[in-house]
Structures are given as C-alpha cells and as structure tokens.
C-alpha cells in the first residue's frame, strides 16, 4: 500500500501553488509567500486591505 502512495505523490502535480490571489484573481508573486506565512492565498495588497479593514 505504501508503494501506491509513493507513486501517487510522485505523479501528483500541485495545482494549488499557482500565484493567483483568491480575492482579486490577479497573478502576483507574493501569493505563494503569503500562503507559506499565513496559510491564505492572497496577494500583498489584499493582505494589507484585510489587515486595515477586516470586514
């Protein structure tokens, strides 16, 4: 069973790691950085606006 899981991991290409923001749908290089830092796929401008206006 572990052989099957190892084969799936090698063949799996993560589609979640594109640099497209979930809020504004614009591709930006800070999306991946914010995904690592906060766990959300948002660009820097959306992150700042969410920090200032958290509604």
Decide if 21 is inside a domain.
yes
pTM, rounded to two decimals = 0.62
Q: Would 3 be classed as within a structural domain?
A: no
Residues 21-39 pLDDT 10s: 999 999 999 999 999 998 9
Q: Which domain holds residue 18?
A: 14-52
| Cβ pair 34, 23 in contact under 8 A | no
Residue 28 lies in a domain: yes
Cα separation, 8 vs 27, whole angstroms: 28
Q: For residue 40, which phi and psi values (nearest 5 degrees)?
A: -115, 145
Give the number of domains in the chain: 1
**Residue 49: half-sphere exposure toward Cβ, Cα within 13 Å:** 7
Q: Using CA atoms in the order 46, 32, 18, 2, what is the torsion angle rounded to 10 degrees?
A: -140
pLDDT interval class at 14 (50, 70, 90): low
Structural domain contains residue 2: no
């Amino acid at each position: 069973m572990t052989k099957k899981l190892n084969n799936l991991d090698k063949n799996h290409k993560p589609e979640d790691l594109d640099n497209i923001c979930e809020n504004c749908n614009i591709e930006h290089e800070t999306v991946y950085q914010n995904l690592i830092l906060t766990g959300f796929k948002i660009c820097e401008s959306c992150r700042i606006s969410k920090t200032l206006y958290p509604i």
